[in-house]
Amino acid sequence: MSLKVWMNGELVAAEEAKIGVYDHGLLYGDGVFEGIRTYQGIAFRLQQHLERLYRSAEAIRLVIPYTPQQLSGAIYETMKANGQSEAYIRLAVTRGVGDLGVDPITTKGPTVFIITDKMALYPKEMYEKGMSIITAKTIRTPSGSLNPKIKSMNYLNNILAKIEASDAGVAEALMLNYEGYVAECTGDNIFIVREGKVLTSPVASGILEGITRDCVLELAGQNGIEAKETNLLPDDLYGADECFLTGTAAEIIPVTKIDGRTIGTGEPGPITKLLIESFHKYVNSQGHSKPPGSP
């Protein structure tokens, strides 16, 4: 059965879901998106994802022609049409079709689409034994050039770092900011554990404030683990007791080697394991709650 894609208010077959070659989302990466995951038929922290989508759109002066409630309903409508309860959702809003040239004033109105599909980002073995990452030479785009809070379609900065990871034979690359501090990986936020404390880079370091990242900070507190945001240098990561990444698709995944250096014991650490267990309990208990528009 062909998957259905929600496009501008209608469900269409995936192979028929197309945007025009003059769409500024295609031509210039002019648009915003969210990646959302569902558990047992409920979209994880959908309200937060939608709030971030609208903040991103507002920041680039893109008016989304649907309310959050309408988009929430459309997500569940698409999942139902595809017979899904566990899915990865891509909700995207492009600037729409316009003339050649970067001026958005020529566009005729946004294109909005929703894809619900499966996404396995990393193999199971990495969750059990940990993954290796490298530090990319490509640095994060400075906040003064592009606000990292905007989750835009222009991911070329991340893609270049991802290519470096592939060339090195690893699955992910760490990106530093222009000051040399740890920012984030190409698609995930990064945490370390040092002396029983969970540390992660602050938003001011040039990161996207991840939804799963926020959840992990909350879960750490609930488990009596001190967690805080602080500037980190590569040496802080090399000397960490534990390291892990967080993201919508990745959830929580241990990192056991960075730039060829073993982190801690070289195996997923106890606090990382505790947070993974707590996260799974949280999503399986549906503690993330049903958002508006859900069945």
- Give the DSSP letter of residue 266: S
SS3 content of the chain, % helix, strand, coil (to 5): 30, 25, 40
- CB 164, CB 138: distance < 8 Å: yes
**HEC string of 124-173?**
HHHHHHCEEEEECCCCCCCCCCCCCCCCECCCHHHHHHHHHHHHCCCCEE
- CB 176, CB 209: distance < 8 Å: no
- From CA 50, how far away is CA 53, in angstroms rounded? 5
Kindly list the catalytic residues. Answer: 151
